[in-house]
């Protein structure tokens, strides 16, 4: 089997590079997570240099676990990732089925649909939070204002006026607020990544067995049962892939959260780390280690979900 040695060695550059990329920062993070290490401290200047004499044991971990933001950040991370996955998969399937049939302008619609995927995440966030979702200057604000004016005018109308006078005045939603900022992030990332799901599902639909479908039609299967019993099972593997790739990207979501609310009530784990890292490197590092553990748990489940089919 010696003729296999060289070909196998070909993967070493990639493995070594990634090992360095992971191990150097990870070991530094691990080290910092066990010592007291802050960037600025007038009271204890000795803490501003990383040194073993500032050993803190699991103190940083305790500090993080007792921080009220920590649990919230984990919850938020999971909420945001799961919601995005849910919506992109549903919309992705619906849209892929919708544009899989040929119709006039199919090519153009396809181009329009996949465009959001190319947009820079930072631009995506700036665009949505300011120009679309802003409660005063954004389209949301303008639309709510416009609707209110229409309702106001209708109230003056004869005959039907009484009906509209029962309607309440609409108020725009502020998406920078604590409770709603996660929703804004979910909206904008879903907009950006639905095209990705559409792309993958569309390619998969094109490889669907048409003879099987024709046979089903001859047997009198309706559109719904065709979708339910032929198309959906066929999409099982692509769905797993879409979930996996997106989980990888969205667990480290950062720019969107920063731009929407500066983490106000909406911190995910990466953002919390960034916040700690403004001064308390020890706590940031301990949180980083927790995030590594979370990533490994997710990776474990993804592996079970996808690993089996990966090597086939």
Contact set for another protein, span 12-31 (CB under 8 A):
13-15, 17-18, 21-22, 24-26, 28-29
- Any contact of residue 43 with another protein (CB under 8 A)? no
Q: Does 104 bind another protein (CB under 8 A)?
A: yes
Using CB under 8 A, pick the residue from 65, 71, 90, 111 that binds another protein.
111
Of the residues 63, 69, 82, 110, which one makes contact with another protein according to CB under 8 A:
110
Q: Which stretch binds another protein (CB under 8 A): 117-125, 159-167, 178-186, 225-233?
A: 117-125
User: Residue 80: how many CB atoms within 10 A of its CB?
Assistant: 22
Smallest gap from Cβ 233 to another protein, in A, equals 13
Q: Which stretch binds another protein (CB under 8 A): 51-59, 136-144, 163-171, 225-233?
A: 136-144
Asked whether the beta carbons of 77 and 189 are under 8 A apart, the reply is: no
Does residue 85 bind another protein (CB under 8 A)?
no
Nearest distance, CB of residue 163 and another protein, angstroms? 26
CB of 166 to another protein, least distance (A): 26
Q: Which residues contact 278 (CB under 8 A, 6 or more apart)?
A: 39
Per rule CB under 8 A, count of chain residues that contact another protein: 103
* Residue among 35, 95, 243, 283 that touches another protein (CB under 8 A): 95
Q: Which is nearer to another protein, 53 or 207 (CB)?
A: 207
Closest approach, Cβ 201 to another protein, in A, equals 8
Phi, psi of 105 (to 5 degrees): 85, 20
Task: Please report, as residue ranges, which positions from 212 to 251 form the binding site for another protein (by CB under 8 A).
Answer: 237-238, 241, 244-245, 247-249, 251
Angle at 179 between CA 174 and CA 180, to 5 degrees: 45
CB-based burial, 142-171: b 16+ in 10 Å, e otherwise: eebeeebeeeeeeeeeeeeeeeeeeeeeee
Q: How would you label 194-231 residue by residue, b for 16+ Cβ within 10 Å and e otherwise?
A: bbbbbbbbbebbeeeeeeeeeebeeeebeeeeeeeebb
Q: List the one residue from 2, 67, 85, 113 that touches another protein (CB under 8 A).
A: 113
DSSP string, 112-141: HHHGGGGS-HHHHHHIIIIIIS-SSSSHHH
The greatest distance separating any two alpha carbons of the chain, rounded to the nearest whole angstrom, comes to 92
- Based on the shown chain and the rule CB under 8 A, indicate whether residue 150 belongs to the binding site for another protein: no
For another protein, the closer of residues 165 and 278 by Cβ is 278
Rule CB under 8 A: say whether 130 interacts with another protein: yes
Which residues, at least 6 apart from 59, have a Cβ–Cβ distance to it below 8 Å? 36, 282
Q: Residue 173 interacts with another protein (CB under 8 A)?
A: no
Q: Are 44 and 51 in contact (CB under 8 A)?
A: no
Question: Does 56 help bind another protein (rule: CB under 8 A)?
Answer: no
Is 12 or 179 the residue whose CB approaches another protein more closely? 12
Q: Would you count residue 65 as binding another protein (CB under 8 A)?
A: no
* Separation of alpha carbons 149 and 58, rounded Å: 60
């Amino acid at each position: 089997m010696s003729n296999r040695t060289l070909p196998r060695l070909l993967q070493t550059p990639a493995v070594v590079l990634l090992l360095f990329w992971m191990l150097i920062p990870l070991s530094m993070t691990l080290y910092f997570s066990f010592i007291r290490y802050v960037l600025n401290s007038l009271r204890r200047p000795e803490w501003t240099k990383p040194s073993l004499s500032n050993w803190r044991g699991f103190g940083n971990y305790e500090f993080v676990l007792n921080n009220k933001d920590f649990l919230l950040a984990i919850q938020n991370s999971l909420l945001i990732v799961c919601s995005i996955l849910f919506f992109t998969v549903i919309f992705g399937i619906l849209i892929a089925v919708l544009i899989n049939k040929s119709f006039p302008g199919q090519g153009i619609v396809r181009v329009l649909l996949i465009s959001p995927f190319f947009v820079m995440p930072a631009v995506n966030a700036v665009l949505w939070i300011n120009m679309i979702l802003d409660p005063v200057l954004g389209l949301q604000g303008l639309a709510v204002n416009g609707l209110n004016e229409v309702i106001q005018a209708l109230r003056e109308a004869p005959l039907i006026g009484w009906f509209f006078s029962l309607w309440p005045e609409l108020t725009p939603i502020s998406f920078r607020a604590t409770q709603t900022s996660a929703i804004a992030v979910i909206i904008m990332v879903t907009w950006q990544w639905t095209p990705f799901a559409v792309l993958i599902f569309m390619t998969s639909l094109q490889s669907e067995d048409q003879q099987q479908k024709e046979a089903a039609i001859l047997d009198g299967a309706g559109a719904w049962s065709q979708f339910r019993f032929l198309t959906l099972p066929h999409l099982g593997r692509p769905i797993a892939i879409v979930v996996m790739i997106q989980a990888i990207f969205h667990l480290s979501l950062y720019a969107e959260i920063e731009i929407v609310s500066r983490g106000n009530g909406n911190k995910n784990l990466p953002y919390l780390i960034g916040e700690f890292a403004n001064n308390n490197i020890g706590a940031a590092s301990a949180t980083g280690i927790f995030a590594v553990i979370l990533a490994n748990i997710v990776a474990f489940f993804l592996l079970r979900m996808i690993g089996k089919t990966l090597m086939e």
